[in-house]
Chains A and B, each alone.
Chain A
Amino acid sequence: MKIMWLLSLFFLVAVISLVGCSSEGESDGSGEGGDGNGTTEITYYSFSAAPNYEDVLADIVTAFEEENPNIKVNTELAAYDDYFTKLQTRLAGGNAPDVFELNYENFVQYASKGTLADLSGFIEEDEDFDPSQLNQEAFEAYQYEGKQYGMVESFSNVLTFYNKDLFDEAGVDYPTADWTWEDELAAAEKITNEENNVWGTYAPATMNEYFKIAAQNGGQLFNENGEPTVDTQENLEAMNYMVDKVTESGVTPSPAEMSGQAPADLFMNGQLGIVHTGIWMFDAFKDASFEWDVALEAGNTQKAHHFFANGLAVSADTDKKEAAYKFARFMSASDQVAELRVENSWDLPAVNNDEVLQPYLEQTPPENREAVFNALDTLVLPPVVKNWSQINDVTNQEFEKALNGSKSTEEVIKTLQSEYENILN
């Protein structure tokens, strides 16, 4: 009996000390959260600052803390690839950051699960903020069922980046705003030079590219109700266009020919006439050894351009919602932040203030920066469906099969239709 008693005592002590540890850990975070005495400490979790813009974010935080001396912001950064795994785990563990970044594609999933705080009330009461300060399309992207669950901070899109030197050598005219797929293919064929490992054009063969190419051909991968509608003639033509560039005309390097190199590196090496990539590459291409510019994307039956938005959301669980909202609003609508973003080419701030945006347009290269704004006229939003990452993976895998010839595009599109249906049900 004595033994049992002793044993249970030990377990009790051990359990109490464990509980003690964990509650101590919790109070570490919220101890200073109480109002009245001193500062509120909030945690901001971000992916867009890593790894290139850590210093800019630090400057922004300093500016915010000067404006709000009773709020202290701790930043935590993760690369995009690991960001959501960590976020989801922290939310599940009841240890969510007070305010965190969400891109548009992932926003709905988090809003629909009730993990985000409704900011509508704060916005109404806020005398310093009016939604008209922001690009309306981008601002409204962060609404779910009529409530504002996030503050858009920046957006970006994808353009046709082209190497002027390669175009000149091949004697091809530069891309224009009304280029079509045919024009791009014709130019790419002239530029391609297999002996020198130079290819005419590159766009990734992935889901992220596919929904846009489909839209350029009048197609749609999911209908308004989010049901898969991939198995159509328009979408098949779009897929053929993407795959044939590799397998038929050879104007795009195959995965084997890429052999692990990033398309941006090939472009910087002068091995690509055109690369379809995001405006976040402006800074990286700044020091290219050749002349380059950007143009609107070629379309087929219509134009379509990517639109990516990042925003800040406040955790539904935090008891420091007000401080968190203030920081989200600052990141989103402050001219000071917008200026810092423009100065450092860190995406495009979502503010409407032309004065702030002017320096962005004046910077070169590229000459044709207006294309960034012109592209907004024909934007196509990423499909908002549950299980987006799984649908992404399946699609990319099937594209690989089409590229290496183990499946025809007709078979691939049939597979995609049934896989999507399976995943969404």
Chain B
Amino acid sequence: MVGMTRKKTFIWLCIFLLPNLLGFLTFIGAPIVSSLIISFTDWDLLGEMQFTGFENYIRLAQDPDFWVSFRNTIFFILGYIPLVLIFGLACALLLNKQMKFRAFFRATFFLPVITSWVAVSLVWKWLYNPEYGLINYALSIIGVDGPQWLSDPNTAMIGIILASAWKDIGFVMVLFLGGLQNISPSFYEAASIDGAGNARKLWNITIPLLAPTTFFVTIISLINSFQVFDQVMIMTGGGPGGSTEVMVQNIYNHAFRYFEMGYASAMSWVLFLVIFLFTWIQMKVQDREVN
């Protein structure tokens, strides 16, 4: 009898999972598999597919543009992740306190997260405008001659990093707020009795106990920031002089502008492996530290 019910449950499980599974297989599973196959061909969308072995991957290793976009992406990540972690945590700590209008502030900080990247990029593009933008206007009031921001290859990526951090701090803040809520107040009470100050509590209680959240936030941010694209596309289009060209944009260009599907698929798989590798390393490191 027990066996029967199990079987029945299994059948029902299948029935309920089927619609979702079909969608997954059709729109995600099949494209993933076919992109792997395409990455070994020279398909240009129009002509016949020709198997070229590892040619795309060999070309990739020797393609200076690919490495430039890889370097730019890493630069973006190195600037972006510390910023969102530090300011996300700071906002979470502030808004975890009892205060007036707390819900209002939390909503306000979260607002950029749900705003479309297109709108955000256009507004920031305008803020960064060296002639008419608010940022350089504000700087000129305190007597600073503002940089050219997005038109200068040295500052363009910094501009994108700042805008991206601004948009995502709210998201990170919400995750940290959840983490803070899980820390039992008794730890803080005990620490107070022992005479620990606020800084001490932060360092010895909050940060260590937030480690699982921090780990999660870092991985999510890392995966997302390897795939940075929208804001770059709209704010600079990869310019000036290729100084903000990132990996996904490079993939997009080769796939949909130069019609080199095979090469673009190969790049996508390399991007996937890079993300996988970084996440795996993080998991290993975290495993040792959290436990």
Contact = CB atoms under 8 A, between A and B. Distances in A.
B159 interface: no
Interface string B221-245: 0000000000000000011111000
A389 B252 CA distance: 13
Interface string A393-418: 10001101100101100000000000
Nearest to A13: B18
A88 B259 contact: yes
Contact of A401 (B10, B11, B241, B258): B241
Contact of A260 (B7, B10, B129): B129
B231 to A, nearest CB: 16
B46 A115 contact: yes
Q: Which of B22, B46, B253 has the most CB of A within 10 A?
A: B46
Contacts of A10: 14-15, 18
A168 to B, nearest CB: 27
Interface string B1-24: 000000100110011001000100
A7 B125 CA distance: 54
Contact of A88 (B10, B14, B45, B148): B45
B152 A256 contact: yes
Contact of A387 (B10, B11, B258): B258
**What band does the interface of chain B fall in when counting residues whose beta carbon is under 8 Å from A?**
20 to 34
Nearest to A10: B18
A92 B45 contact: yes
B245 to A, nearest CB: 8
A389 B257 contact: yes
A10 B259 CA distance: 38
B197 interface: no
Interface string A78-112: 00000001001101100000000000000000100
A256 B45 contact: no
A264 to B, nearest CB: 18
A404 B45 CA distance: 37
Interface in B242-269: 242, 253, 256-259
B79 interface: no
B148 A89 contact: no
Nearest to A88: B45
A197 to B, nearest CB: 9
A284 B283 CA distance: 59
B26 interface: yes
Interface string A258-275: 011000000000000000
Chain B interface, DSSP helix/strand/loop, else mixed: loop
Contacts of A88: 45-46, 256, 259
Contacts of B15: 10
Contacts of A401: 153, 240-242
B228 to A, nearest CB: 19
B185 interface: no
Given A115-B46, A256-B148, A393-B253, A404 B258 contact: no
Interface residues of A, number: 32
B195 interface: no
A404 B7 contact: no
A113 B47 contact: yes
A18 B47 CA distance: 27
Contacts of A389: 257-258
A257 B15 CA distance: 62
A88 B151 CA distance: 32
B130 interface: yes
A172 interface: no
Contacts of B131: 257, 259
A259 B22 CA distance: 49
Contact of A3 (B10, B125, B129, B256): B10
B203 interface: no
Contact of B130 (A18, A256, A404, A406): A256
Nearest to A91: B46
Interface in A243-300: 254-257, 259-260
Contacts of A398: 241
A259 B125 CA distance: 10
B239 A400 contact: yes
B241 A406 contact: yes
Contacts of B241: 397-398, 400-401, 404, 406-407
B116 to A, nearest CB: 18
A259 B130 contact: yes
B101 interface: no
Contacts of A256: 130, 148, 151-152
A114 B47 CA distance: 8
Contacts of B44: 113
Interface in B139-165: 148, 151-153
Contacts of B47: 113-114
Interface string A212-245: 0000000000000000000000000000000000
A85 B18 contact: no
A355 B125 CA distance: 49
A14 interface: yes
A92 B129 contact: no
A73 to B, nearest CB: 25
Given A3-B10, A92-B45, A400-B240, A259 B259 contact: no
Q: Give 9 nearest A-B pairs by CB, closest first.
A: A92-B45, A401-B241, A256-B151, A400-B241, A113-B46, A259-B131, A390-B258, A400-B240, A85-B256
29 contacts: A3-B7, A3-B14, A6-B14, A7-B14, A10-B18, A14-B18, A85-B256, A88-B256, A92-B45, A110-B46, A113-B47, A114-B46, A254-B151, A255-B151, A256-B151, A257-B131, A259-B132, A260-B129, A387-B258, A390-B253, A397-B239, A398-B241, A401-B153, A401-B241, A401-B242, A404-B153, A404-B241, A406-B153, A406-B241
Interface of B: 7, 10-11, 14-15, 18, 22, 26, 44-47, 125, 129-132, 148, 151-153, 238-242, 253, 256-259
Given A254-B151, A260-B129, 7 more contacts: A3-B7, A6-B14, A10-B14, A85-B256, A256-B130, A256-B152, A259-B131
